[in-house]
C-alpha cells in the first residue's frame, strides 16, 4: 500500500495551480477594429479636415490627438482580427512584413487611416503573394506602440503566429 503524505498532496496541488494552462492561453480573443480605439473616444473625433496636395492630387487627413490614442488594455493580448494586407517586405516565399488595415486599398491609393487603426505585422510564416489582395485573419500577440512605416504611422505592432484566408 502506497502512503501519500499531506506535504506531497499540497505540492502536487500547487503545481497544478501554477502550471500554465496551455490550451486556454493559445486561444486568441477575436476583436474588431473598433476595439483598437480606446473606450470613450468616438471614431468621428479622430479625423479632422485634411489638406489637398495639389502636386500629387491627393488628400491627406489631419488627425487630432485622438488618432494616436491607443487601447492600452490590448497590450500583450493574444488576438485575432480580420483585415487587409499592405505589403512592406516580401521575399520569394511571400510577404513577411505588412501593415494590417481595416479596408481594402487603405494606405495605397487613399489617405491612410489613423494610427490607432493600423497594425504593423511581422509574419512568422510568409503570406503567399498570389493571395495578397484577399482579406485575412491574423492571430498573434499585439502591442501598443507608435511606429512610422513607409506607408503610414501605425499604432500597434504584432507578430503573426497565424494568418489565414478570411471567408465571407
Structural domain tally of the chain?
A: 1
- Cell triple for residue 160? 503573426
Helix (H) or strand (E) holding 156: strand 153-165
Residue 23 lies in a domain: no
For residue 16, the tally of other CB atoms under 10 A from its CB is 9
Residue 2 lies in a domain: no
> Which residue range(s) make up the domain with 88?
28-165
Residue 89 lies in a domain: yes
Q: What is the pTM of this model?
A: 0.78
Mean pLDDT of 41-62: 70
End-to-end CA distance of the chain: 61
CATH number at residue 125: 2.40.50.870
Residue 80 lies in a domain: yes
Residue 20 lies in a domain: no
Mean pLDDT of 149-162: 94
Q: 55-64, 83-92, 96-105, 120-129: which range is least confident on average?
A: 55-64
Residue 81 lies in a domain: yes
**The pLDDT value given to residue 45:** 58
Residue 159 lies in a domain: yes
Residue 103 lies in a domain: yes
**The pLDDT value given to residue 7:** 52
Mean pLDDT of 109-130: 90
DSSP 10: H
DSSP code string of 95-146: EEEEEEESSTTTTTTSPPPPGGG-EEEEEEEEEPGGGTTS-EEEEEEEEEEE
Amino acid at each position: 500500500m502506497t502512503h501519500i503524505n499531506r506535504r506531497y498532496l499540497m505540492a502536487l496541488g500547487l503545481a497544478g495551480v501554477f502550471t500554465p494552462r496551455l490550451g486556454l492561453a493559445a486561444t486568441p480573443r477575436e476583436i474588431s477594429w473598433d476595439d483598437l480605439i480606446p473606450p470613450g473616444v468616438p471614431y468621428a473625433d479622430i479625423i479632422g479636415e485634411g489638406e489637398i496636395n495639389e502636386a500629387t492630387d491627393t488628400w491627406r487627413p489631419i488627425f487630432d490627438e485622438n488618432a494616436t490614442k491607443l487601447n492600452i488594455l490590448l497590450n500583450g493580448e493574444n488576438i485575432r482580427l480580420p483585415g487587409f494586407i499592405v505589403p512592406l517586405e516580401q521575399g520569394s516565399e511571400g510577404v513577411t512584413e505588412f501593415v494590417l488595415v481595416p479596408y481594402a486599398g487603405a494606405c495605397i491609393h487613399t489617405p491612410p487611416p489613423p494610427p490607432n487603426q493600423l497594425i504593423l505585422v511581422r509574419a512568422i510564416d510568409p503570406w503567399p503573394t498570389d493571395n495578397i489582395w484577399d482579406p485575412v485573419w491574423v492571430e498573434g500577440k499585439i502591442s501598443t506602440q507608435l511606429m512610422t512605416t513607409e506607408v503610414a504611422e501605425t499604432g500597434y505592432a504584432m507578430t503573426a503566429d497565424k494568418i489565414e484566408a478570411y471567408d465571407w
